[in-house]
Chain A
């Protein structure tokens, strides 16, 4: 059975390219563009990996990360993405507890390699 990935990202074109790349890796890819709906989708899909943008409509990626940690369900791996690339965001993500933090723009090869490592752990 293929592993499930939930992409929480408000840019549909980034979702499209990531979905294509991860689909070729044999992963089952789901996407959500609204921060406020992310937790419901997470409960529904129960993914092994969440790719989480920091700046989202309605709720920030940091808030969602806190909720994921507080939830009773098994903790998925979390890869955070930010377009800001500021140390402040990285620091906050690390304080809350994230598996990996990457900044936009990312390279396809690098993000795919990182996701492979995360899912093998």
Chain B
């Protein structure tokens, strides 16, 4: 159980104003020995005694009371767990908050910045490595340059070219120069758009992610059977959806949401989900649907006023390309196929239609319950092969009590990451790419 820190703060404040323990005890109308116990956090302090001490120290009682540091404490624990050196004195966190609140705040601020920057690095690395637009543009430009260079070299170094051929080569240089110029212009526009702080998006997938995030991954207009709002209205009313491909992606995503909403109407689904403790198998039976559809619907349940725990979701095809992403604040989901190979999501492909339950632990020691399943996306005729997708639902472990009644044994926590580029697990046997930040062993 967490100790009260009020005593530590009283001691620090007393020393700051230069009072002896005896003098403060007298001014607060308590015994010096009792104050001594309070200052060493061996007796709780509240009510009249706390008010008396606060008055004697000329400080608002709220600044001495407990409860203000819970978030700070949580952040410091997380920072200590994230640190790969493993040398932080966990047991001294409470003492540090009490004695050095400024340093504690600074440390958590720096930790949050580091965490955000790691996520940004992952996103940028993701984009540079896998962005199809960039890869296609660079490939096209190099082809244009090859044609120009080769043709110009022929025209410069070979004298006996017949006039018709010579004229064709000139036309090639003209045409390829124009294409190169267009490609350079498109690339410039792309980077201008990518750095637009207002939208923060560049690719259609990023615009889709931004759209879903702005709507908190739920659409009451679609969930409300009385609503006259159409999918086209929702898309048209979002000024941030700028390119056509993004609008197509959004339309496809909303169509799936609408299909799920018809099959699993929100009110009934939320009620049933709470009754069966969010058990996906049970819900699939109740609503005569499959697990992937229930996973999708569950990932939309956590919204203001709902008792449902937050649930993240990722759906990938057999090549590992993310088709659906509903990230959680502490569990980033890479956009392109470079996620951690240890995710049960990928193991599910080796045993289709046999759901997996597992406990996962990220390098920062955050734990998540994971439910994963792979399933065919259609049916195959004789001689045809099936195509598979896999879905993984994630629930933060602190909500375990809600789902533990039906959750099968998950065994010990599996050590995973999000993506190799920012994963600090230096000894990971499945590492596919070097870490961008220095590895633990290299420090």
Inter-chain contacts of A74 with B (CB < 8 A): none
State whether A14 touches B153 (Cβ < 8 A): no
Out of B140, B142, B145, B150, name the residue touching A17 (CB < 8 Å): B150
- A14-B143, A83-B143 are contacts. A105–B149 as well, Cβ < 8 Å? yes
Q: B146 to A83, Cβ gap below 8 A?
A: yes
Task: Kindly state the interface size class of chain B when it binds its partner.
Answer: 20 to 34
> B151 near A13 (CB under 8 angstroms)?
yes
Q: How far is the CB of A84 from chain B (nearest CB, A)?
A: 6
Q: How far is A83 from B183 in the complex, measured between Cα atoms in Å?
A: 15
B150: chain A residues at CB < 8 Å are 14, 17-18, 21, 105-106, 108
Bound: A17/B168 CA distance, A:
10
Q: How far is the CA of A37 from the CA of B97 in the complex (A)?
A: 71
Chain B residues, CB < 8 A from A104: 142-143, 145-146
Q: Size of chain A's interface in residues, with CB distance under 8 A?
A: 18
**Closest chain B CB from A53 CB (angstroms):** 9
User: Does B175 lie at the interface of the complex (its beta carbon under 8 Å from any beta carbon of A)?
Assistant: yes
Determine if A44 is an interface residue (Cβ-Cβ < 8 Å).
no
- Chain A positions 6 through 22: 1 when the CB is less than 8 Å from some CB of chain B, otherwise 0: 00000101101110110
Q: How far is the CB of A55 from chain B (nearest CB, A)?
A: 6
| B141-160 near A? 1/0 per residue, CB < 8 Å | 01101110111011001100
Pick the contact of A83: B139, B157, B175, B176 (CB < 8 A). B139
| A90 vs chain B, min Cβ distance (A) | 15
Interface residue? A2 (CB, 8 A) = no
| B165 interface residue per 8 A CB criterion | yes
Contact A16 B149 (CB under 8 A): no
A87 at the interface (CB under 8 A from B): no
Known: A83-B142, A83-B146. A13 touches B176 (CB 8 A): yes
CB-based contact B168/A16 at 8 Å: yes
Which residues of A line the B interface, CB within 8 A?
11, 13-14, 16-18, 20-21, 24, 55, 83-85, 104-108
The 5 closest A-B pairs by CB, nearest first: A83-B142, A13-B147, A17-B150, A105-B146, A104-B146
**13 A–B contacts, CB within 8 A, in A order:** A11-B146, A13-B147, A14-B150, A20-B165, A24-B158, A83-B138, A83-B139, A104-B143, A105-B146, A106-B150, A107-B149, A108-B150, A108-B154
